[in-house]
Amino acid sequence: MAEAVADIGLIGLAVMGQNLILNMNDHGFTVCAYNRTTSKVDAFLENEAKGTNIVGAHSVQELCAKLKRPRKVVLLVKAGSAVDAFIDQLLPYMEEGDIIIDGGNSHFPDSIRRTEELQKKGILFVGSGVSGGEEGARYGPSLMPGGNPAAWESIKPIFQAIAAKADGEPCCDWVGETGAGHYVKMVHNEYGDMQLISEVYQIMHEGLDLTHDEMAEVFTEWNKGDLDSFLIEITRDILKYKDEDGSALVTKIRDTAGQKGTGKWTGIDSLDRGIPVTLIGEAVYARCLSSLKDERVRASKILEGPKNKKYSGDKKAFVDQLGQALYAAKIVSYAQGFMLMRQAAKDNNWKLNNAGIALMWRGGCIIRSAFLGKIKDAYTNNPELENLLFDPFFQEATAKAQDAWRNVIAQAVILGIPTPALSTALNFYDGLRHEMLPANLLQAQRDYFGAHTYERLDAPGTWVHTNWTGKGGRVAASTYDA
Ligand code: NBP
């Protein structure tokens, strides 16, 4: 029988698993490593893990035998059936109170199911979002654990030690019950931020004729202010990067965007819950449109655009307005994300800690930014905040930026440059701040053609049908929302 020497076990020795193990080792935890293909355990111990306290196992049984109690096992394997397969393999060697943590990119309904199924067996399941890629895993990821709350006390010291730190605080806290960790990880995605930055790039490149070095300068400046973030920083570096012939490498990259699904999942989930997360939706569709390259090439030859394709005003002033538009649209994007999480929390009985979530995203992950500190402040000041845009700081920030934001979109429309995310953000903002929307007409139309009934403003709760043409009958359709 192997001696129980390890504080925690980890299964899955690909890029994330290996780096997370090394990170835990750096923080003084003894980790036992295991992988389906066991030759990778030996290779890891002989190379990357050489000279460390890391130990290995060649079977799930050996792994469990080497773990101190309660046993804690992190899975960092391909999401889906591999996670279920490992849970099944672990169960015979675990006992009540032991903990299984899935750190892969699992879809949150799977984590809800796993938490509930394992709870019945006395095993504590944690579905944890892990963000930050290879470097994050190695030197400090953003960690978003959720699942069975009874597991938190045992894993907290390890998770908070290895997580990224923002202003000295760990970018890791308990998110909520069952699938909350993986849900928050799903909503936390870079699609909106990346699309907004890309639109601003296209306006500067196509409409203002700025060189890539000039654009890099703009991003350098932006990174010193409100927009200070990882994505602005890497965009600056990308714009500066030269190919062998001295031209900007980015201009040689085929303009078809890939996607791995988290944006799409968020979009679908927002439709299911009836929450307008329009920035993610537009960002996903923009990637879809980008991948229709051949069709776009044909369209570019036959579909007419505006005659005037270049901005003729003060470029420097316009670049300043672009920065303001980017900031305001980003605020709307995060407001929408928090609206979605608020609804999901209601639907699933999760008590989400919004300030904690903002802090978890503040460092270690792709969307990390100084701006998330402001979101943390907003939810710390008012944990019950209905909408991020209602917070005085963000209310003022959007009010200050709105003239610039409107002008940027107006100019982009005139020049024929697409701005799906910048525009949808402004449309959302204008929609939200309208007490009255034209849905009254829409309801009248629905009642006209389908006898769907409508509610009268002067008699709330009273649903009536009007015989609009004088020819219809008295019978109305039943009232329900699909
Ligand atoms: P991969 O997603 O490439 O997964 C490789 C691991 O999964 C290996 O240990 C492999 O074992 C194991 N595996 C596979 Br593939 N199929 C299996 C099966 N049917 N049964 C058992 N094991 C199986 O590794 P990764 O990129 O390190 O990511 C790990 C997890 O973390 C994934 O869920 C990923 O989505 C998530 N994640 C990745 C990143 C990133 O930047 N890469 C960031 C955040 C989260 P083998 O060696 O025997 O083939």
355 in ligand 1 pocket by Cβ < 6 Å?
A: no
Q: Is 279 in the pocket of ligand 1 (CB under 6 A)?
A: no
Nearest protein Cα to ligand 1, atom 17:
82
Q: 3-state class of 245 per DSSP? A: coil
pTM of the model: 0.93
The whole-angstrom separation of Cα 64 and Cα 99 is 11
pLDDT of residue 142: 96
- Is residue 12 part of an annotated ligand binding site? yes
Residue 104 CA to ligand 1 centre (angstroms) = 7
Do residues 140 and 132 touch, judged by C-beta distance below 8 A? Answer: yes
Token digits for 350?
């999760």
Q: Where in the chain is the domain with CATH 1.10.1040.10?
A: 190-433
CATH 3.40.50.720 positions along the chain are 8-187
* pLDDT of 189: 86
Query: So what's the pLDDT on residue 139?
Result: 96
Nearest C-alpha neighbor of 266 from the set 361, 325, 340: 340
Q: Per CATH, the architecture of 8-187 is what? A: 3-Layer(aba) Sandwich (3.40)
Report the CATH number of the 190-433 domain.
1.10.1040.10
- For residue 146, what pLDDT is reported? 97
Our mutation pick for probing the ligand 1 site, out of 19, 78, 361, counting the most ligand atoms within 8 A of Cβ, is 78
191 is in an annotated binding site: yes
Q: Which stretches of the chain score pLDDT less than 50?
A: none
The residues facing 455 across adjacent strands are 463
What is the model's pLDDT at position 1? 66
Beta strands 55-56 and 124-131 are unpaired
Q: Which residues contact 464 (CB under 8 A, 6 or more apart)?
A: 453, 454, 455, 456
Q: What is the pLDDT of residue 472?
A: 73
CA–centroid distance for 341 within its chain: 11
379 assigned binding-site residue: no
CB 98 within 8 A of CB 69: yes
Q: CATH 1.20.5.320 in the chain, residues?
A: 438-481
Task: Tell me the two tokens of residue 150.
Answer: 């009874």
- Ligand 1 pocket residue status of 87, Cβ below 6 Å: no
281 lines ligand 1 (CB under 6 A): no
Give the chain's end-to-end CA distance (angstroms, integer): 58
- Please tell me the class of the 438-481 domain: mainly alpha
Quick check: 171 and 363 in contact, CB under 8 A? yes
